[in-house]
Structure formats: structure tokens, C-alpha cells
Amino acid sequence: MGKYTVCLDIGGTKVLGAIFNAKGEIVHRIKKRTRANEGVSNVEETILSVVRELVEGFGIALTDVEAISAGAPGIINNDTGVVLFSPNLPWRNYAIKKSVEKQFGIPFFIGNDVNLGVLGEWKFGVAEGLSHVVGLFVGTGLGGGLIINGKMYSGHQYKGAEFGHMILNIDGPQCNCGQRGCLEAFSSKTGMTDYIRQQILHGRSTMMADSIREGVFKSKEMKAAYEADDEVMIEAIDRACLYLAVATGNLVNMFSPEMVIFGGGVMEALGAVFLEKILSKVNAYCLPSVRESVRFEVASLGDDSILFGARALILDAFESGAIL
């Protein structure tokens, strides 16, 4: 594969874009606000403008780009490039592949962001060379990814590996999916924010009060409060890690992976703290014989794991002959 590829990480608040060279190195990158609450056409315009600005900023032409690939939250059919549903973006049955390919005349690929994050870590990061990998990405939501027998597994129509909606307590807190007590409702930034909000309602004080007034806190605000020994923040983190340990134990027993990877914005900010807290509890929830052979690691590509996974999607398409 020669020339350049453009890879995108489309989130609810920002779009990260990067140009990779033929050696697989990121040579140029930009970040832009998604404007998710301004409608379908604005989000698409953001994506198109990120591609254009990347290409112009790096001083190449669109004809130098062999393929574009993106990770986005939600249920996405990798084959058809249709986003069936996205929790943070205004997309329902949205044929984004068709739309972008029509604009640029360049092959476009898209997949679930966390599936791609795990794919990136498996192909180029901490899990390189392994055959059985479980990934949990903790951010605004909580997503999962699964490598089984040396292949990405995402279930029928790419709808599976939704580890964030593993129900851990049927009487637990409300989750955005409509259920109660999902892992996401305890351990994501949304779950931790809800917990902090409840504590404030009970009259407790925390330096996170301003951070959660208008929605979910930012990872760096969580880090600052943790480092300042904010009692309520530490409780929210401990609770998040307890449920992450329970979910991890379930996944270890189900899949006997060689490695469980923890990634996402929360891990990028406080990975060592989270990993230590998860590790201090996880053994109680694993079958001892299975626990023996699994390693727990923080994602090594950080914020770039989804970009690298998007690139892996292009490489797979070249290998399978989908791009000639």
C-alpha cells in the first residue's frame, strides 16, 4: 500500500483526524468540535471538513489519499457502512459510507469506535501478537471489544461485544440503554457523574460540583479532584473500579483471554490508579485457574488507539481484496 490514508475518531464532542504515511506513522493530525447537537448534515460537514483540512494542511491532494476510515460510537455495520444507531450522534440508519464516498470518490470504511480501539491495540499496541484479547474502554460511555482465535469478534451484524451493557445489578442505577445496573451505569464517566450528583443532593460537598453542572465531567477534572483527595470523587472511582473488577472477572471466566486491555479517556487520565484498584479486587471474581494465565494492561496507544484501529480496517480491506 503506497501513499497516504486518512483515519478519524468521531466522538460525541470532538473529531480527531490523522494522516498516516505508507509506513504506518501519523504524519499530520487535527481536532475539531463535532457539533453533534446541530443535526446530521452538520456532523457530516464536520467530518468532510476534517478530511479536507488534513489534506490541505499537510500539503497533499485528495488523489494522494488511498482510503479514509473512521471509528464512531454506536451499532455500525462494517460491511454496508450504515450506522444503525449512535448514542451520542444524531444518526439513525445513516448510510455514511455511501455519502462520504460520493463526496470524495475515495473508499471509506467505518466501524464501532471501541471495537476499532481494541483492534488498534491488538495490531499495533500492547496486545500485538496475541490471539485472545478482551478490551474495555472507559469514557463517557463504556464500550468493549473482543479478539477470539486471532480474529476480531463483533457478533451477528457487528452488534456484539457490548460489554458496557453487561447487567451487574438488576436493581442498580438507570443506564442510558433503558436497563438498570449495567457496567456503564456504574463505571463510565456518565455513571460516576450520576453518583457524584446524588452525593451532592445528599448535602455532601465536592470540588466536582461545577464540573458536573452541565453534564458529564472531563477526564482532567476527575484527575485534578483525585489528586486533591476529593472524598466524593475517590468514592466514585472506587465504586467504578469495583464494578469494573466484577465485569472483568465475568469476562475472564467466559473467554479466558491472554490479556484484558483497559483503554479510553478515563484510563488515559488515571490509568495506573484505575488498574491498581481493579487489580486489587479482580481476583475475587475470577476462577483461580483462569486468572493465572491472564494479564491486565492499560492501552498503550492512548488517545490514538481508535485511529490505529481505523487504519487496521483499511489494511484488512486491502488484504481481503476489497480495495484493488
Q: Return residues touching Zn ion (CB under 5 A).
A: 165, 175, 177, 179, 182
Our CB check for Zn ion shows the closer of 247 and 299 to be 247
Our CB check for Zn ion shows the closer of 154 and 188 to be 188
Strands 295-298 and 259-263: parallel
Our CB check for Zn ion shows the closer of 90 and 172 to be 172
Cβ-based burial of 105 (10 A; exposed 0-12, middle 13-18, buried ≥19): exposed
Our CB check for Zn ion shows the closer of 60 and 75 to be 75
Helices (H), 157-258: 183-187, 189-201, 219-227, 231-255
The least distance separating Zn ion from the CB of residue 185, rounded to whole angstroms, comes to 6
Our CB check for Zn ion shows the closer of 123 and 165 to be 165
**8 three-class SS:** strand
**Are 104 and 77 in contact, with CB atoms under 8 Å apart?**
no
**222 three-class SS:** helix
**Angle subtended by helix axes 265-282 and 231-255, to nearest 10:** 70
Q: How far is C-alpha 131 from the geometric centre of its chain's CA atoms?
A: 20
The least distance separating Zn ion from the CB of residue 170, rounded to whole angstroms, comes to 12
Phi then psi for residue 303, to 5 deg, are -65, -10
Our CB check for Zn ion shows the closer of 125 and 264 to be 264
Give the count of alpha carbons within 13 A of 230, CB side only. Answer: 21
Q: Which residues pair with 143 in a beta bridge?
A: 137
The least distance separating Zn ion from the CB of residue 169, rounded to whole angstroms, comes to 12
Phi then psi for residue 275, to 5 deg, are -60, -45
Our CB check for Zn ion shows the closer of 120 and 139 to be 139
Q: What angle do CA 90, 267, 111 make, to 5 degrees?
A: 40
**96 three-class SS:** helix
User: What is the arrangement of strands in the sheet containing 108-112, beginning at the earlier edge strand?
Assistant: 26-33, 14-20, 4-10, 65-72, 108-112
The least distance separating Zn ion from the CB of residue 256, rounded to whole angstroms, comes to 25
Our CB check for Zn ion shows the closer of 28 and 165 to be 165
Give the count of alpha carbons within 13 A of 307, CB side only. Answer: 24
**Are 273 and 93 in contact, with CB atoms under 8 Å apart?**
no
The least distance separating Zn ion from the CB of residue 129, rounded to whole angstroms, comes to 33
The least distance separating Zn ion from the CB of residue 191, rounded to whole angstroms, comes to 10
- Per DSSP, 131 falls in state S
The least distance separating Zn ion from the CB of residue 171, rounded to whole angstroms, comes to 14
Our CB check for Zn ion shows the closer of 65 and 175 to be 175
The least distance separating Zn ion from the CB of residue 142, rounded to whole angstroms, comes to 9
The least distance separating Zn ion from the CB of residue 165, rounded to whole angstroms, comes to 4
